[in-house]
Structure 1
């Protein structure tokens, strides 16, 4: 058994190497994505290709005559020509849910950051604001040491005063693997959940504090709105100007899924005009995000991260274990758990 491995990993490939001769190349070594010709040269006599981001095109699939299985360590194998693989009776396996916990946690982190102005407060201190160069005791004689720094209108206590998650309503658009995890964490903060997902029934969320609602109701009444949608013809531009306009002025918008499901220009205008309170984003219409983007240069009511929702060590371990488990099933002629085609 010969395996080409170009996927992200956690440096623990012993179980994979037990399956056969493993060629490690490309992204797995920290190198750029491989070209079609490079892939063909490396995999021309391989039985299995395991990749994260390389484009496994029809040309690659046809040229690699020994190929029997393609594994993609992503929630959707968008970089694999599944039709071409199916034509050659080659199964394509993938790793749905591998980064669900990581993405859910970053979603909650954005909610906390934008509601409590954490990045803004951090940067103010790093820039020397609200600090004392003379190391003076701000609490004064006879005053307990944990007193707030000041109570003037321009003090950090006032400037960065935010909102609690407790008692608020979180509107979750898309209640799949990630949306459910976000909801579970949010419930721990004491939030009520409003769910919009046309593929769910009331039985699926039959618990106190969780309610399936119409999209209009969710947008009109939620204090936080978070998107967890896959990109499809029906979801591109899903949250458009009209729907953003339905949100409360006090509401916060979070998107850690895909930028395509959101009208970015409409969000920028809503933030500029304070038609929503704030937002937190991990994804953008153009990536890497432009250096002069309004989120960076202009708006101070938005928190941003550089598409890192799935960037945890645990995600790498998860998808490696999932792939190895399914490869073992494949070798034993057992049904695979995560076959895409």
Structure 2
């Protein structure tokens, strides 16, 4: 059995699990993402098993049809919208996942919020340039946190906001006050959330219904002193509208960990927008998460070899907040 572990950006996957238990298997690790379909197929055509790191590489129908040897596709996490599950099922390809780990994303969300509020990147650069105290920060106590998407991650972000003494409001298309009560938040309408929040943090699942749900209109309702944070999925936010608002100083700043196309294009306007903190989709990139995920990947492969696949992903789940 030939196994391809793809999109190992940091060259760490080999050390994150005991791959030696896959006796008789050839395991290859690839560190560069290939966007061109013909190049991707040429690389992976001979592999029986492909291990995908989240949604870094897409597996639509045409790609799956061009991989004749593929029998098992393992993704980290239990949701991967870059895989055409119907096409995989038609071709007899088993798709398995791993347990999810959301705490690292919650932690990064608050690192970005605090970095914006206290101007950490600017002060760091200023200090290194020989200056002392060049900006004024913003205290979060008494401010309003708006959480867009009150699922597992959004709920934890909301609870932490209360620990900072913030008023917490929340919105999602089907949010009830009963659900909001479980994390001490107040359910509000979409326009009210953007108009009232001092910090807007986005935590929705990406679907056709939520794509670009934070657009020019929503950003236009934000306070001039407000911050926008997105650690969910890039296409949830209209990046052109956000870049324009930042350049024109219509909002105070933004922090993003996710982008419509990843890795981000070096010419992307957000890279040159003021008052931003930009990270390369690291909300799940920790030692602990990688060890858990790659360890579970090995378990998935062993179970498949034994004829008893575990953590199978049979159908695409309905869109919901993460």
- What are the Cα deviations for residues 255-313 of structure 1, in whole angstroms up to 9, with x where unaligned? 122221112222223223332222212234555545565544452x2222233333222
| Residue from 228, 233, 238 that aligns with 1:253 | 228
TM-superposed CA distance for 1:242, in Å, is: 1.2
In structure 1, C-alpha distance between the alignment counterparts of 2:33 and 2:261, rounded to whole Å: 20
1:142-153 matched pairs, under 5 angstroms: none
Q: Answer yes or no: is the 8 Å Cα contact 1:278–1:302 preserved in 2.
A: yes
Q: Which one of 242, 252, 257 corresponds to residue 277 of structure 1?
A: 252
- 2:43 maps to 1:38: yes
Change (3 A) 1:225 1:55: closer
2:88 and 2:251 map into 1 onto residues whose CA distance is 46
| Secondary structure of the corresponding residue to residue 193 of structure 1 | strand
Q: In structure 2, what is the equivalent of residue 49 of structure 1?
A: 50
* One of 122, 125, 129 as aligned partner of 1:123: 125
CA spacing shift, 1:332–1:198, aligned 2, 3 Å: farther
Q: Where does 1:1-341 land on structure 2 (aligned, <5 Å)?
A: 2=1, 4-7=3-6, 8=8, 9=13, 11-14=15-18, 16-27=19-30, 30=31, 33=34, 35-41=40-46, 43=47, 46=48, 48-52=49-53, 53-54=56-57, 56=59, 57-61=63-67, 63-64=68-69, 67=71, 69-74=72-77, 76-95=79-98, 97-98=100-101, 100-130=102-132, 156=133, 159-207=134-182, 209-285=184-260, 287-289=262-264, 291=266, 295-297=270-272, 299=274, 301-327=275-301, 336-337=310-311, 339-341=313-315
Deviation at 1:327, TM superposition (A): 4.9
Distance 1:281 1:315, change over 3 A: same
**CA-to-aligned-CA distance 1:53-87 (integer Å, 9 cap, x gap):** 455522344x127x2x3211256334433222111
Q: Tell me which residue corresponds to 1:134.
A: none
TM-superposed CA distance for 1:196, in Å, is: 1.1
Q: Distance in 1 between matches of 2:52 and 2:273?
A: 39
Query: Contact 1:10–1:317 at 8 Å: present in 2 too?
Result: no
Q: Is the 8 A contact 1:173 1:229 kept in 2?
A: yes
Higher relative contact order (CA 8 A, sep 6+): 2
Residue by residue over 1:18-59, the C-alpha shift from the partner in whole angstroms, topping out at 9 and shown as x without a partner, is 3543322142xx355572133222x2xx3x432324555223
State the TM-score, normalized to the length of structure 2.
0.80
- 8 A Cα contact 2:230 2:255, kept in partner: yes
CA distance in 2, matches of 1:280, 1:252: 8
TM-score scaled by structure 1? 0.76
In structure 1, distance between residues paired with 2:268 and 2:304: 47
Cα distance between partner residues in 2 of 1:23 and 1:108: 41
Is the 8 Å Cα contact of residues 74 and 300 (structure 2) preserved in structure 1? no
Across the two proteins, how many residue pairs are aligned to each other?
301
RMSD over equivalenced CA pairs, Å? 2.9
How far did 1:226 drift? 1.0
Please list every run of 5 or more consecutive structure 1 residues that lacks an aligned counterpart in the other structure.
131-155
| Consecutive unaligned residues in structure 2, runs of 5 or more | 316-322
**CA gap 1:260/1:325 in 2 versus in 1, 3 angstroms:** same
Q: Aligned equivalents of 1:184 and 1:334: distance in 2?
A: 40
After superposing the two structures, state which structure 1 stretch, 105-114 or 85-94, moved more.
Answer: 85-94
Whether the 8 Å contact between 2:78 and 2:313 is mirrored in structure 1 is no
How far apart, in 2, do the equivalents of 1:77 and 1:297 lie? 30
Residues 169 and 191, structure 1, Cα contact 8 Å, conserved in 2: yes
- Residue of structure 2 equivalent to 1:135: none
**Pair 1:81–1:109, CA change in 2 (3 A):** same
Matched residue, 1:153: none
